[in-house]
Structure 1
């Protein structure tokens, strides 16, 4: 089985949207409110493609996952509660967002490969820390994140919305 990542192109948007929808359905089945509104929109994914921050996981040439690897500060991470970020407060970092594996590939531990590749891309770009967040009820993603070596750092809120709380994680490279 050949596994690698590549940047997404405009032609990949339909496959990315399909994977996001499958992720939305899996979260709903687990009674997790994350992604149950309109986010992420096609325009969010298109913006990721346009900014060269959309990365696809390919397995034997087929798109098996989608993620955004941001290299600019995430405003949602500016303030962290019940914890703190490790390292220098103003250090640059990448952040992983909108990550999902296609439903036909679940159970193959592909997220391990995906996270490893995103870490390598971050390191090669000169970053020495990565941040990621997930809903407090999303036990599956929390397991994947900690298995990849991330440490729990505290709580962040999406768009300063007190009802949209996330567990925040960080890894130092």
Structure 2
């Protein structure tokens, strides 16, 4: 498997993977995280044009897709009921989805992103037990609650090369 930047010519295949992921989440007790339309085509096109959309490929086939960016994410500016492992520069993953055609492709994507930055943050819906288990198996630590711009709650996770102790402040962290 290898990771490449997504290209606009791959859009229809990427949209199909996201459609299948929505159905998978619904079938596994998580119908609300992405609903019927998330992520929307315009968001995916924006991710591709910004150079932050990646695909996991093997033998010319897309096995998984995800958003990755090194740098701060506004949704991670405040964390509640917990703390980040550290406040060092980090990368983020969003919108990760697997085609389901090869076991381990999502883990491969997480490992690639972690190698890129050594300090990675990600979040998921409370009902997304499949993703929560994937994150735990891949060495991520649950850190607390974050809220999206629309007010939706998400469980926040982080993995860091640094053994970084959680910050001692019981107050929400503002970045």
TM-score between the two structures when normalised by the length of structure 1: 0.87
Q: What is the Cα-based RMSD across aligned positions, in Å?
A: 1.4
Point out the structure with the larger helix share.
1
- C-alpha distance in 2, partners of 1:139/1:52? 29
- C-alpha distance in 1, partners of 2:7/2:150? 31
The CA deviation at 1:98 is 0.4
Question: Which residue, out of 90, 98, 109, partners 2:104?
Answer: 109
The CA deviation at 1:52 is 0.6
User: How many residues were matched structurally?
Assistant: 160
SS at match of 2:25: helix
The CA deviation at 1:84 is 0.8
2:140 alignment counterpart: 150
Note if contact 1:76-1:160 (Cα within 8 Å) is conserved in structure 2: no
Unaligned runs of 5+ in 2: 162-175
Q: What aligned pairs does 1:57-136 form with structure 2 within 5 A after superposition?
A: 57-88=56-87, 91-105=88-102, 108-120=103-115, 122-123=116-117, 128-136=118-126
Q: 1:45 to 1:160 in 2, by over 3 A?
A: closer
SS at match of 1:103: coil
Unaligned runs of 5+ in 1: none
1:23 alignment counterpart: 21
Q: Which runs of 4+ in 1 moved over 3 A?
A: none
